[in-house]
Structure formats: structure tokens, C-alpha cells
Chain A
Amino acid sequence: MARTDIGPPNYRDMLPEIIKRNYGKWKYHEIIRPGVLKHVAENGEELYSVRVGSPRLVSVDFIRDICEIADKYCDGHLRFTSRYNIEFLTDKKENVDRIIEEVQKLGLPVGGTGNCVTNVVHTQGWIHCHSAATDASGIVKAIMDELYDYFVSMTLPAYVRIAVACCINMCGAVHCSDLAVVGVHTKPPKIDHEKVSALCEIPTTIQSCPTGAIRRHPDPNIKSVIVREDLCMYCGNCFTVCPAMPLADPEGDGVAIYAGGKVSNARKPPMFSRMIVPYLPNNPPRWPEVVDVIKRVLEVYAKNARKHERMGEWIERIGWEKFFKLTGIPFTEHHIDDFTHAVETFRTTTQFKW
């Protein structure tokens, strides 16, 4: 009989010796070059971290490859960041160049530090998810191929966090990222009445709809539901509780693009990302229209924002009307919120720009 509830391994057993010695006793750090951090402890000891980009969706042989490097240069220790980067940790400065050389041999980029575009937080997409409106890994790859130079450098006004979620469940910090891509359905669920009666609980299904669009089927002999299409906003909450109501549709599915969110409390409080493009069609394998918008907005930001300003801080300072003008993205009626927090976004002042 297997043991249960043993919990994860104790982190203390996973820490490199230099970290055990200096746990909670770090004095300061600096970024000595893109992708390389130097942390200095109160007692003067130095720890070097080499940060390396990863595609997140990796084979076990990839993990073995990075283990080999960690065995050679880091006494068999490594860590991952919350954004899927790999960090090789060493107290030997001379190992930094060797680590970089080895990871570059594997085709992995060194960077993701300071005022850069670091790795993209993302979801599963078509690789594993039943509710995906788009792929995630593919869009990330297409975006990062284009923004690679921003990963390996630190030239932006502040750091830029990008996220991709394959549906509006947003299993990633999409709603608070500088730039974000979200898969959207644009057609109401297709109801399989036979399956509904076999698989779904009718009251739960009706209750799941945030706009009250789901009703009992008018024919009492049919144990199913109907959807008032004029009320449906394609959120997919019904599909989560009732598998007989899929929304995915090759023609309707696509992505929306958001900008200006952040989670850090530095300067301005955390902010939500705001919709800048309501819909672009899925265009695999490289989603060129999506990559184009992301790159364009990033470059307009890089050129116009002041030092230390995050994307959202810059936009709030210049005004959204100016943002749309500078980026050339058209503002439409779809940008005006009509959901739960809508009124907070309506302008209640005569102050605005042209």
C-alpha cells in the first residue's frame, strides 16, 4: 500500500550549501550582465545565478540535460523561477562562463533579468486542454522568436511581463500582465440534447451562467436546456459543468489582446490588463497578426515610456486615448466594458486628450 499525504520534499534538502549558509542573510544583489545575478551575503560570500529560458513543455531528456550541467558546475543543484526559467546557482565565478557556454550549446537563451521581456507565463492550449480556444505553446514560441533580443538584453524602460492563456479561465496571470494574449470563443455553445440529459445536472447548468442565458428546454419531454444567444458572452462556464455544451469552433475561436497590467506594488498599485484588441482569428502555426500587435505595442512603449515606467503606468500617464493613437490600434465599441466592473471605467471628468 502506497503512502499518502507525505507532501512535497522538504525544500531544505534541496538547497545548495552556500544558500544554507546564508539563508536569510543576503545583503544585496546586482545584475552583472543580462541573465547573470550576483547575490552578496552579509559575510561577503557571493552567489551567482545564471538564468536560462525554457519552453516549459519539455521532455524528460531536456531535464536530464540541464541536470548534467548542474552536476558539473553547481554541485547538483538548480532551481526554476515562477516564470519557467531555469537558474543555475554557483558560488564559483569562474563557472559562470562555462555554464553559459554549455546552455548555449543546448540552444537555450541566457537572459530574463532586469528591464527585459522575460519568459511568457502560459497555459496548455491544444496540447492538453478541453476548453482551449487557441494553442498556448505555439503563440509563445512565435512571440518569443520575434522578441528574443529583448529576453537577452535589458534595454526597456522597465521589465515587461507577457502571458498567454488559451481561454478566459486564464490559468496564468493574464489579467495582470503588461501584455497578454487570451483565447476567446465567439459562438454560443452547441448543445447536444441527448448528452445533456445523460451527463449534466440541469439546475447546476442553468445556475452556472453569469448572464442567465441558459433556460430549461421549452419541451417538457426533452430533459435539456436552451441558450438565449443574445445573452451569451461565450465565457464557457456552462461547458465546465456540462460537457455536452462545447463552445469550440474553428471559425469562431481566436484571441484577444490585453495590455497594461502588473502585480508588483512598486510605485503604482497592481493593475488589471485592459483589452486593446477584441479579436484576432487563429492563424497557426505562427499567429502573425498577434505577434505583430505584441511587437508593435512593445516598441511604441520602449520608445515613449519614461525610465522605470511599466506599460500600464506609461499608458495611465499619457491616457488610453493617446495609447490608441500612438499604436494605431483602432478603438471600437467593444472596448467599452459592459460587464460587472464596467462603470468604474467610464470617464467622469472633462479631462482628456485628443
Chain B
Amino acid sequence: MEGETPLLDELEKGRWPSFVKEIKRAAKKNKAALDLLKVQELSYKDKITHWKHGGIVGVTGYGGGVIGRYCDQPEKFPEVAMFHTLRVNPPAGWFYKTDALRKICDIWEKYGSGMTNFHGSTGDIILLGTKTENLQPCFDELTEAGFDLGGSGSALRTISGCVGPARCEWAMIDTLDITYNLTMEFQDEIHRPRWPYKFKIKISGCPNDCVAAIARADFTVIGTWRDSIRIDQEAVRDYVEKGFDIESVVKKCPTEAISWDREKGVLNFVAEDCTRCMHCINKMPKALRPGLDRGATILVGGKAPIVKGAYLSWVIVPFMKMEPPYMEVKELLRKIWDWWDENGRTRERLAELIERLGLKQFLRDIGLPAVPQIVYRPRSNPYVFLRR
């Protein structure tokens, strides 16, 4: 290996941990990892990818979960001529016991390249690179160890949620339980692609949105509350006495709902002006806490630019209680999928379809009321199709 990959060797230097060291580590035990290293070096030299468009490979009974991948130089790099990837659905919140992780490591050492992503961008455990004949036995052992595949293609993708009530005082909903419950309910939708395109669900416990649900999910669940935030005035004063710059926090309140009365040492708060953005709570977690009437805002449509441009998710239900077994949200999801499946074109994401047919039509068909919270402002043109 020494000296064979001069370009990649550059990336072993520097303070940030090196993925090149990791590939080399795997390459000591595994021929595919060694070829992977060499293909990557060639890409660095040629400035082009050496992976071909995927093929259809998979495991019995599933239509997804495996990404087929072939090298465009199979003679030169026979060990990665086939280099398929398994997406493995992680436990909600990415919590692990080490014995579960070790099992995955052992299985992957036996059947694959020994290289992984912890995790992929959607949140799956990515087992990077194996041959077609290894897919089924690898999958069989994974399920023996209690793991299953995640979503790929035109299916429901692996659902992800933030750390939630497991370790966050701001979790307004049980993100882990919702993630797990929906994942178990929709196993068929995850494993057998049948829709116009991909569909993503992400669940954040509060408006800080630590899993980027609003930007990256077709169906976005964000925890929120309806009553007033809770203020511990004693704790506020304690912050200030310790030199905390409370004015800088108050100044940034987007609706001027809070003000600091220095004389009295009281943080004034107008609950009806608050839009629950989390700013002041984030800055003073010991003194300020979210309210107690908790639920979620449901939004739809978030996605990256391909094809018609990027969208942030749009509010469709300003507030929904989220209690197990989450029937209301499941019913809403099924209605949305039916509508999208019925009306969507190939490779048309939900947002693009809603833009094409109109949010008004979407709300009517799904049976959701039009309320002012779902728009910033009403229309400015007179072109209304009145239904008399």
C-alpha cells in the first residue's frame, strides 16, 4: 500500500480524523477495501467517478434497501467490480448498545468490505460495498442480529427523529417512540417501492429542528406547544447576576414578546405575542422552559432542488396532539400517499405536485381546513375559482 496512493496519502495528514486512514485500516484485512482505496486514488487523479449507474440487486421479498453499484474498471479492480451497499435501519435516536454494534461489525467483516458510514445522510447505517452473492446471507445474519434494511428508491425512506425525551428537556413530543412506531407500522412502504418517487418523514422534538425535518422531509413533524413558556424569575436573575448579557437575548426576540425590567429584575413576557421560536429558551435553559400543552406542527413538502427547485416544508396542520398509537398522523399519511400516488407524475415529489395542483386543492382532497396559520399572507391576485 505504501506510496501507491500519493494523492490520498495527503489526506492522512492534518488534525481532523482521516477517512483515508480508515480505508487503509480495512484494506489490511480486506481485498475489496484495498481496491476501494485504489479506485478512489484513480478518481482523485482522473477527477471523475469510477462508479457506474446502479443495477437491480437486492434480497428476497424486498424491492429496496440495497444500492446496486458496479465499478467501470472491473478488470483493474476485480474486488470492487460489484460494490453494493446495504442500508440498515438504525434504532431511533441512534442509541446503541455496544454488543449490537459489534454484531454488525462482525457480520460486515464476514460479508462486506469492512467499510461503513455511521451514518448516511438519511440516518441509515451504511454498509459500504459487497458482492451480489453476499447480499442474501448478509441480510439473513443481520435479521438474526435484530436489524432490518432501510428504504431506498421510490419508497418510504428510513424515518429519523432527534434525540427527543431521551436526553433533551425541549422535546415536546416523544420523537423516538413516534419514529419507532411509524417505522414498524410502515414496514411494507419502506421495503417495497411503489410510489412516484421517494418519501421522507423526519421528526423533531422542538422548533430547533435538530434533524432538519423542515428542509429535508416530505412529511415534517415538529414538536411545539400552545400555552405560555414557563419562566423561573429567580433563575433569570441568577443568570443576570452572573454577568449574562440578557439584553442581547431580548433584542433578538422576533416578536418583541419579552422585555427585561432591570429595576424590578423581572423578565416580562406576553404569551400571545410569542411564536415559540426557541431563541430565548435556547439561551437561558435554566430559567425558561416551553409550555405544557404540547403537540406538533405538521408540515409537508421539504426537499432539495432536484427537479423543480428546493422547498421548505409548508404548514398544513398548525397543531396536532401526538399520543400513541398516533392514529391521526397515520391516517393523514395514508391519505397523502393515496393523493400523491393518484395524481403524481414519475419523479414528482409531494411539494412539486402541490405546487402544480395548488395547496387549496390538496387541502380539499385531504380534508384539512384552510386556516391563516398555513400561509404567511393571503393572495394578491383576484383569480379565484369560486365554487358555488
> Once the chains bind, are A286 and B10 in contact (CB under 8 Å)?
yes
Cα-based distance from A79 to B121 in the complex (angstroms): 16
**Interface presence of A129 (CB below 8 A):** yes
The one of B59, B95, B104, B146 that contacts A77, using a Cβ cutoff of 8 Å: B95
- Chain B residues with Cβ under 8 A from A253's Cβ? 47-48
Q: Please, which residue of chain B has its CB at the minimum distance from the CB of A174? A: B304
> Once the chains bind, are A4 and B191 in contact (CB under 8 Å)?
yes
- Chain A residues with Cβ under 8 A from B212's Cβ? 82, 173, 176, 263
Known: A9-B146, A55-B16, A57-B19. A82 touches B248 (CB 8 A): no
> Once the chains bind, are A175 and B215 in contact (CB under 8 Å)?
yes
**Interface presence of A319 (CB below 8 A):** no
How many A residues touch B, CB cutoff 8 Å? 119
> Once the chains bind, are B143 and A4 in contact (CB under 8 Å)?
yes
Within 9-66 of B, Cβ neighbours of A (below 8 Å) are at 10-11, 13-20, 22-23, 25-26, 33, 36, 40, 43-44, 46-54, 59-62
Within 23-41 of A, Cβ neighbours of B (below 8 Å) are at 23-24, 26-30, 39
Within 231-268 of A, Cβ neighbours of B (below 8 Å) are at 235-237, 239-241, 243, 246, 248-250, 253, 261, 263-268
Interface hit among B262-270, B305-313, B319-327, B329-337 = B305-313
> Once the chains bind, are A14 and B97 in contact (CB under 8 Å)?
yes
Most B C-beta atoms less than 10 A away, residue of A172, A208, A264: A264
> Once the chains bind, are B48 and A250 in contact (CB under 8 Å)?
yes
**Interface presence of B233 (CB below 8 A):** no
Min distance, Cβ B84 to any Cβ of chain A, angstroms: 10
Known: A49-B167, A60-B109, A265-B209. A14 touches B91 (CB 8 A): yes
Min distance, Cβ B283 to any Cβ of chain A, angstroms: 7
**Interface presence of A95 (CB below 8 A):** no
Cα-based distance from A55 to B118 in the complex (angstroms): 9
Interface hit among B180-188, B367-375, B379-387 = B180-188
> Once the chains bind, are B105 and A64 in contact (CB under 8 Å)?
yes
Cα-based distance from A248 to B254 in the complex (angstroms): 45
Binary A-proximity of B181-200 (CB < 8 A = 1, otherwise 0): 00110011001000000000
Known: A130-B69, A266-B278. A84 touches B210 (CB 8 A): no
Min distance, Cβ A210 to any Cβ of chain B, angstroms: 5
- Chain B residues with Cβ under 8 A from A109's Cβ? 15-17
> Once the chains bind, are B98 and A76 in contact (CB under 8 Å)?
yes
> Once the chains bind, are B17 and A54 in contact (CB under 8 Å)?
yes
> Once the chains bind, are B92 and A5 in contact (CB under 8 Å)?
no
Known: A14-B95, A176-B212. A207 touches B121 (CB 8 A): no
> Once the chains bind, are A130 and B169 in contact (CB under 8 Å)?
no
Min distance, Cβ B5 to any Cβ of chain A, angstroms: 10
**Interface presence of B86 (CB below 8 A):** no
> Once the chains bind, are B91 and A130 in contact (CB under 8 Å)?
no
> Once the chains bind, are B94 and A80 in contact (CB under 8 Å)?
yes
> Once the chains bind, are A55 and B184 in contact (CB under 8 Å)?
no
The one of A2, A26, A84, A270 that contacts B143, using a Cβ cutoff of 8 Å: A2
**Interface presence of B344 (CB below 8 A):** no
> Once the chains bind, are A26 and B169 in contact (CB under 8 Å)?
yes
> Once the chains bind, are B25 and A59 in contact (CB under 8 Å)?
yes
**Interface presence of A303 (CB below 8 A):** no
Q: Please, which residue of chain B has its CB at the minimum distance from the CB of A106? A: B17
> Once the chains bind, are B216 and A141 in contact (CB under 8 Å)?
no
Q: Please, which residue of chain B has its CB at the minimum distance from the CB of A250? A: B47
**Interface presence of B343 (CB below 8 A):** no
The one of A26, A81, A138, A148 that contacts B11, using a Cβ cutoff of 8 Å: A138
- Chain A residues with Cβ under 8 A from B92's Cβ? 8, 11
Interface of A is mostly: loop
Min distance, Cβ B45 to any Cβ of chain A, angstroms: 8
Within 116-168 of A, Cβ neighbours of B (below 8 Å) are at 121-132, 135, 137-138, 141-142, 144-145, 148, 151, 165, 168
> Once the chains bind, are B115 and A8 in contact (CB under 8 Å)?
no
Known: A10-B91, A286-B10. A168 touches B121 (CB 8 A): no
Known: A28-B286, A63-B116, A264-B278. A141 touches B96 (CB 8 A): no
Min distance, Cβ A114 to any Cβ of chain B, angstroms: 10
> Once the chains bind, are B183 and A8 in contact (CB under 8 Å)?
yes
Known: A84-B119, A138-B11. A235 touches B98 (CB 8 A): no
Cα-based distance from A337 to B43 in the complex (angstroms): 32
The one of A5, A79, A249, A340 that contacts B95, using a Cβ cutoff of 8 Å: A79
Cα-based distance from A61 to B345 in the complex (angstroms): 45
**Interface presence of A3 (CB below 8 A):** yes
> Once the chains bind, are B118 and A84 in contact (CB under 8 Å)?
yes
- Chain B residues with Cβ under 8 A from A56's Cβ? 19, 117-119
- Chain B residues with Cβ under 8 A from A340's Cβ? 308-309
> Once the chains bind, are B304 and A39 in contact (CB under 8 Å)?
no
- Chain B residues with Cβ under 8 A from A324's Cβ? none
Cα-based distance from A151 to B140 in the complex (angstroms): 40
The one of A55, A59, A243, A263 that contacts B209, using a Cβ cutoff of 8 Å: A263
Cα-based distance from A274 to B310 in the complex (angstroms): 11
**Interface presence of B295 (CB below 8 A):** no
Binary A-proximity of B291-314 (CB < 8 A = 1, otherwise 0): 000000000000011111110100
**Interface presence of B231 (CB below 8 A):** no
> Once the chains bind, are A26 and B167 in contact (CB under 8 Å)?
yes
Cα-based distance from A146 to B23 in the complex (angstroms): 22
22 A–B contacts, CB within 8 A, in A order:
A2-B140, A11-B179, A14-B97, A28-B285, A58-B22, A60-B114, A67-B102, A107-B17, A126-B51, A128-B129, A130-B54, A130-B69, A135-B43, A170-B310, A173-B212, A176-B215, A208-B307, A241-B347, A264-B207, A264-B208, A264-B209, A284-B47
6 closest A-B pairs by CB = A145-B14, A243-B53, A170-B304, A265-B207, A24-B165, A144-B16
Q: Residues of A with Cβ closer than 8 Å to B?
A: 2-11, 13-15, 19, 23-24, 26-30, 39, 47, 49, 53-64, 67, 70-71, 76-82, 84, 86, 89, 107-109, 121-132, 135, 137-138, 141-142, 144-145, 148, 151, 165, 168-176, 204, 207-208, 210, 235-237, 239-241, 243, 246, 248-250, 253, 261, 263-268, 270, 272, 282, 284-286, 306-309, 339-341
Q: A107-B17, A285-B44 are in contact. List 6 more A-B contacts (CB 8 A).
A: A9-B91, A76-B99, A79-B96, A126-B48, A248-B49, A263-B209
